[in-house]
Amino acid sequence: MSSTTSPDLIGPETAHAVLTAIQSVAERSFFAAVEPCDERAFGELAVKVSRWLVATVRFEEGPLVGSMSCTLPEDLARALFDAFTGGHPSAPAPARDQVLDLVGEFSNMVCGAWLSRCASDWTFKLRPPVVEPVLQPLGADGLQLFVVVNDRPLALALRLLEPAFPAAAGAKA
């Protein structure tokens, strides 16, 4: 499958819509503040990070097929976990699987919030998130957005692919 970037979807309007989605998710469910930042500011924060997690959600919405990835420091994931579950920072550390699940759900919500707005006439499918450690945020061949969440860096990458399944392109819900 080849990767393609659509000028209609990988542009300023999409970047704004994705930023709105991540702000909505972070504020409503994780009580976290999100501010956009440029690549340089992101880089300055990123050099202080030793452990990263990336959560990737594959989506299909009508003819739109692609993936969204959120890359964030492990300590931010832990902070989001505490906010989401109402846990106290002094409570015992959660199991690693729980943190990975939480990061996956965060990415799932951001992707869903964006898709719900960008093409509301279509239902969509989200594949279960894949969460894994990475040494550093990966470059994207589509849209890349840098934000600061509670003073910690988070990179979001949106890639659009050609429809993997012919039915996805023609089956309007």
Partner 1 sequence: MRILIVDDSAMMRTMVKRVINLADVAVDEILEAGNGAEALALLETHDVQLLLTDINMPVMNGAELLRELAQNDRWRNLIRVIISTDGSTARRDEAASLDVRCYLEKPFSPEILRNVLNDVA
* Shortest Cβ 76–partner 1 spacing (Å): 15
* Shortest Cβ 159–partner 1 spacing (Å): 19
**Contact map string, positions 13 to 42, toward partner 1, x by CB under 8 A:** -----------xx-xxxx------------
* Shortest Cβ 129–partner 1 spacing (Å): 9
Is residue 150 a contact residue for partner 1 (CB under 8 A)? no
Judged by CB under 8 A, the chain residues 63 through 102 that form the site for partner 1 are 81, 84-86, 98, 101-102
* Shortest Cβ 169–partner 1 spacing (Å): 16
Q: Which of 111, 131, 134, 115 is nearest to 123 (CA)?
A: 115
Paired with 19 in beta bridges are none
Is residue 148 a contact residue for partner 1 (CB under 8 A)? no
Task: Tell me how crowded residue 118 is: count the other CB atoms within 10 A of its CB.
Answer: 17
Task: Tell me how crowded residue 127 is: count the other CB atoms within 10 A of its CB.
Answer: 13
Amino acid of residue 93: A
Distances (CA, A) of 14 to 11, 96, 131: 5, 33, 24
